[in-house]
Amino acid sequence: MNSSTTNPSPGDAVQSAWEAAYQRFETPEAEIRKFVVRLRELGADSWSRDAQVVEIFCGRGNGLHALAQLGFTRLEGVDYSPALLARYTGPAVCTVADCRALPFPDASRDILVVQGGLHHLLELPSDLNRSLDEVVRVLRPGGRFMVVEPWLTPFLRLVHGIAFFPPTRAVWGKLDALATMIEHERTTYEQWLGQPSVVLESLKSRFQVERCSMSWGKLRFVGRKAGA
Ligand SMILES: C[S@@+](CC[C@H](N)C(=O)[O-])C[C@H]1O[C@@H](n2cnc3c(N)ncnc32)[C@H](O)[C@@H]1O
């Protein structure tokens, strides 16, 4: 693991509590299976296996395992949590860094991926725009950016209703872990869910849209950097 920043994560205690709930929410195997399905749905089977792929906000690296299972070999990950990155044991080169300042040269990577990271940013739209500007900077012309993030669809409203209903929460560990994660990230989570047009405008103004859908509580977006 590389380390390129010295003081990456605000609120370490809150972060630890969130990380503990995140690890209870889903086993690594289940998350990797979920990521493989998502990557396929979003077209990864047609991407070159030689592509240089970076997963930003990669956490414990389950998205990197999914990419490796699909045959991608030139993999890198970035996250500002040394604790989560330390749990990754695969072939990707991982760097501790803030995704608002990516540790890569301009136009040096083919594909960037984020799965559930942008909604952790503290300030919208400024941090989102900084992160997306970094993605554009680092991608080669024609490079792809794949995003999967929570989205306030009717399904997600239903999930919230069940997860915060004390009797279901008491008997369903996964829902309790989800509710705990949301409680610890409530400010950024609600800010993200509450500004859908800001998020879409930030994405669509920077990338040529290849895919964009919102269903089952998720935004799924694939865009390309202009200039291939
Ligand atoms: C839901 S997790 C992503 C999980 C990941 N997809 C996985 O496979 O484990 C969100 C991640 O974003 C990271 N994060 C939040 N803000 C960040 C920032 N500004 N720069 C880098 N990482 C950040 C957190 O440390 C956390 O690992």
Annotation: CATH topology of 2-224: Rossmann fold (3.40.50)
Cα 157 to middle of ligand 1, angstroms: 23
CB 98 less than 6 A from any atom of ligand 1: yes
User: What pLDDT is stored for residue 146 in this prediction?
Assistant: 98
Cα 10 to middle of ligand 1, angstroms: 13
**Measured distance CA(119)–CA(202) in Å, rounded:** 13
CB 120 less than 6 A from any atom of ligand 1: yes
pLDDT band at 7 (very low <50, low <70, confident <90, very high): very low
Cα 58 to middle of ligand 1, angstroms: 6
CB 81 less than 6 A from any atom of ligand 1: yes
CB 135 less than 6 A from any atom of ligand 1: no
CB 25 less than 6 A from any atom of ligand 1: no
Q: Which residue minimizes the CA distance to atom 13 of ligand 1?
A: 57
Q: Which tens digits make up the pLDDT trace of 161-183?
A: 998 888 888 888 888 998 998 99
Helix pair angle (12-25, 173-184), 10° resolution: 160
User: Where in the chain are the domains?
Assistant: 2-224
Cβ–Cβ < 8 Å for 59, 114? no
pLDDT band at 8 (very low <50, low <70, confident <90, very high): very low
User: What pLDDT is stored for residue 111 in this prediction?
Assistant: 98
**Measured distance CA(41)–CA(46) in Å, rounded:** 11
pLDDT band at 2 (very low <50, low <70, confident <90, very high): low
User: What pLDDT is stored for residue 184 in this prediction?
Assistant: 87
Q: Which tens digits make up the pLDDT trace of 117-165?
A: 999 999 999 999 999 999 999 999 999 999 999 999 999 999 999 988 8
User: What pLDDT is stored for residue 10 in this prediction?
Assistant: 47
**Which atom from ligand 1 is nearest to the alpha carbon of 61?**
8
User: What pLDDT is stored for residue 27 in this prediction?
Assistant: 87
Cα–Cα nearest to 151, from 188, 184, 112, 119: 119
**Measured distance CA(208)–CA(57) in Å, rounded:** 22
- Most informative mutation of 23, 57, 121, 135 for ligand 1 (most atoms within 8 A of CB): 57
**Which atom from ligand 1 is nearest to the alpha carbon of 63?**
8
Cα 99 to middle of ligand 1, angstroms: 9
Cβ–Cβ < 8 Å for 60, 35? no
Cα 49 to middle of ligand 1, angstroms: 24
